Structure 1
Amino acid sequence: MGKIERIEVPAADRDRLESLVGDRNTSQKVVWRARIVLLAGEGLRATEVAGRVGTSTLTVRRWRRRYAQAGVDGLLKDATRPPGRKPLTAAVIQRVVDMTLHEKPPRATQWSVRSMAAVTGLSHTSVQRIWHAHGLKPHLVKTFKLSTDKPFVEKVQDVVGLYLDPPDKALVLAVDEKSQIQALDRTQPGLPLKKGRAGTMTHDYKRHGTTTLFAALDVATGTVLGTCMKRHRHQEFLRFLRVIHRNTDKRLDLHLIVDNYATHKHPKVKAWLEKHPRFHLHFTPTSASWLNQVERFFALITQERIRRGAFTSVPDLESAIMDYLEHHNADPRPFVWTASASAILEKVARAKQALESQH
């Protein structure tokens, strides 16, 4: 037989332990520890104690040792953990933030975790935590361009007004051309997506020509009227205006949101519009294509159908585009414009002020 794992429990300790077990206010974990010591004091082996208490033999031996070292008081609190790294001081954190915002690393245009850690003597994870806490992402940059259009305010108010408060008995259509869409075919077949591996496609391709997608997004319903043409001159724009005219209710006025491309202002286009007074063109400011909702649709079709497609000819590409339009219109969902004109203008004003303060 194995050695009996008895520990000596003086009468005073036993009374105190039994009191802890019987007290409703004692936490459950302290009750378990007290029972472990009481049973061990009766000479039960660790395996027997573990079975009765419902824990592991490792836990039984741990609390036997704790009692032997610190008595009953040692059972009432958890062991303190070894000290970890000292927390970063506010001064150190502020230094990292200031360097990230106002300084550049040697031989680089932006900080990386490694370069900041090397300069400050901090760990990579410390730098990452500081950047995350302060919303700093020095590896990212966004492009922008502020419009210099003199009637910028008036145009923003006009276009946003159509989105937020469209006129009665009228359609609001966001219209534009997505030009130079290339029919690209890959030089070799790629591998399909599989578990643990991304799909592949060759980086080189064969060019088979280009097409232009003319599209009119119905702001209210999300449906898109579109057609592909070889070029995008004023002649093609006129053809598309006629397509819109044929495919919309003649009793409704049409408010078209367009950009400042020269074809939209061609004399022949103006002459046609004068003969069709239900057409009203609303121009976005220069360098402000983000105001035209159809640009969001162009981003979708590019991401979902064109960018990773393989097309053996222009007709093949155009067929794919029209198929996408058909599926889109089967379950259209309009984009919901929420920003007011005043909110947009205030944001632009803040951006200009911030830029001017830097120069």
Structure 2
Amino acid sequence: MVYYGQSWSQEVRVAPAIELSQEEEAELIRLAHSKATSVRLAERARIVLLAAQGLQNLQIAQELGIDRITAGRWRQRYIKSGLAGIERDLPRGAPPVKVDVAKLVELTTQSQPEAATHWSTRKMAAVLQVSPSTVMRHWQANGLKPHLVRGFKVSRDPKFVEKLEDIVGLYMSPPEHALVLCCDEKSQVQALDRTQPGLPMKKGRAQTMTHDYKRHGTTTLFAALNVLDGTVIGQCQQRHTHAEWLKFLRQIDRETPKGKTLHLIADNYATHKHAAVQAWLAKHPRFHMHFTPTSASWLNMVERFFRDITTERLRRGVFTSVGELEAAIKAYVAHHNTSPKPFIWTKSARDILQKVIRANSRLSGKQNGTLH
């Protein structure tokens, strides 16, 4: 259409006309003036009413104080879908990318990325052509954590059940007039000194410590945890042969009530079963040894004490000599014994056995290629 008698020299596009029935016009007027109508819907109704009067998009935009594109968009929506077209909001932003969740789970659990041992959100996102946040969201929904790995060792001890029931029985139903002591050695405890002094923690800054260190030797901590009250008998020695183990047994003998039977829980380390040790135990009948199953040190509650002393005193400690390290260990044990707290064992032998059976079943299935 060309406008003659004007100064315009170009053809002007004309918006499609809208014809309303009496019912449609009445409903649009109601929406445009009702106080119960949302501001957006009332504006859209006015756009359609003005369009039905023959106004072009630019004129409607000037009348309502909006832009021409908005006027044209809702005109087209009404022509296409009627009243329902202006009642629904337009989708915002780009359409969501559809993720093949089954493929994502399969890649995560049954494959590895090139030149890497496990998937990261960025690597998986690059393969599936989605965002890293999308990958993380679906990993969380499916309980997948490829960045984590947990260590394990299933015991193959033929007497596993017998030893398990024996030790758990001591924890949950200790014998009367007896002490249950969990014993073990924490070997190769290093006296580490830092190459440069660190800075103390202050507001806005964490404590600093150099990543490298100087070694000043090692010691071995022998410990016996009293299951009843949580007290610890400790001794540091340079080696951990049967001679040092015998020396520790003598200390236990000295520091426990003479009239008490002693049940010692220990692992299968050859030192604990040496002939000299057996001869000493034969002369001290109040000592009864109970050995954990092979590869099942987690049954020994003294491991919990070793974890605590490592995290609370040793890992961030600075020691310029073995003597200084041993003094720190002795002081920690003494402090622990001022207000000891026993570790409470809650799992029955049956519960533990069922868990081990399930683990063995899963491992056997994986090895036979039946676990997917």
2:357 to 331, 346, 349: 349
- Residue in structure 2 matched with residue 82 of structure 1 by the alignment: 92
Separation of aligned partners in 2, 1:123 and 1:102: 21
Q: Show CA shifts across 1:305-325 (max 9, x none).
A: 111111111111111001111
Separation of aligned partners in 2, 1:78 and 1:99: 39
Separation of aligned partners in 2, 1:206 and 1:302: 18
* Pairing of 1:146-161 with structure 2 (within 5 A): 146-161=154-169
SS of corresponding position for 2:346: coil
Q: Does 1:296 align with 2:304?
A: yes
Q: Does 1:323 align with 2:301?
A: no
* Pairing of 1:184-333 with structure 2 (within 5 A): 184-333=192-341
The 3 A distance-change label for structure 1 pair 278 and 125 is same
Q: Show CA shifts across 1:37-72 (max 9, x none).
A: xxxxxxxxxxxxxxxxxxxxxxxx99xxxxxx9xxx
Q: For structure 1, which segment, 196-205 or 292-301, has the greater mean C-alpha deviation from structure 2 after superposition?
A: 196-205
| TM-score of the aligned structures, taking structure 2 as reference length | 0.74
Q: Show CA shifts across 1:1-21 (max 9, x none).
A: xxxxxxxxxxx98xx978x7x
Q: CA RMSD in A?
A: 3.1
Across the two proteins, how many residue pairs are aligned to each other?
A: 304
SS of corresponding position for 1:281: strand
* Pairing of 1:157-172 with structure 2 (within 5 A): 157-172=165-180
> Alpha-carbon deviation of 1:197?
3.1
Structure 2, unmatched stretches of 5+, are: 1-28, 40-64, 67-73, 75-82, 368-372
- Residue in structure 2 matched with residue 340 of structure 1 by the alignment: 348
SS of corresponding position for 1:179: strand
Given residue 320 of structure 1, which amino acid in structure 2 is its aligned partner?
A
Q: Show CA shifts across 1:126-162 (max 9, x none).
A: 0000111111111111222222222111111111111
Separation of aligned partners in 1, 2:228 and 2:94: 59
Identity %: 58
Separation of aligned partners in 1, 2:316 and 2:207: 11
Separation of aligned partners in 2, 1:100 and 1:17: 55
SS of corresponding position for 2:236: strand
Separation of aligned partners in 2, 1:175 and 1:206: 30
> Alpha-carbon deviation of 1:194?
2.9
> Alpha-carbon deviation of 1:107?
2.2
Separation of aligned partners in 1, 2:262 and 2:189: 27
Q: Does 1:114 align with 2:122?
A: yes
Structure 1, unmatched stretches of 5+, are: 1-11, 21-29, 34-60, 63-68
| Larger Rg belongs to | 2
Q: For structure 1, which segment, 342-351 or 120-129, has the greater mean C-alpha deviation from structure 2 after superposition?
A: 342-351
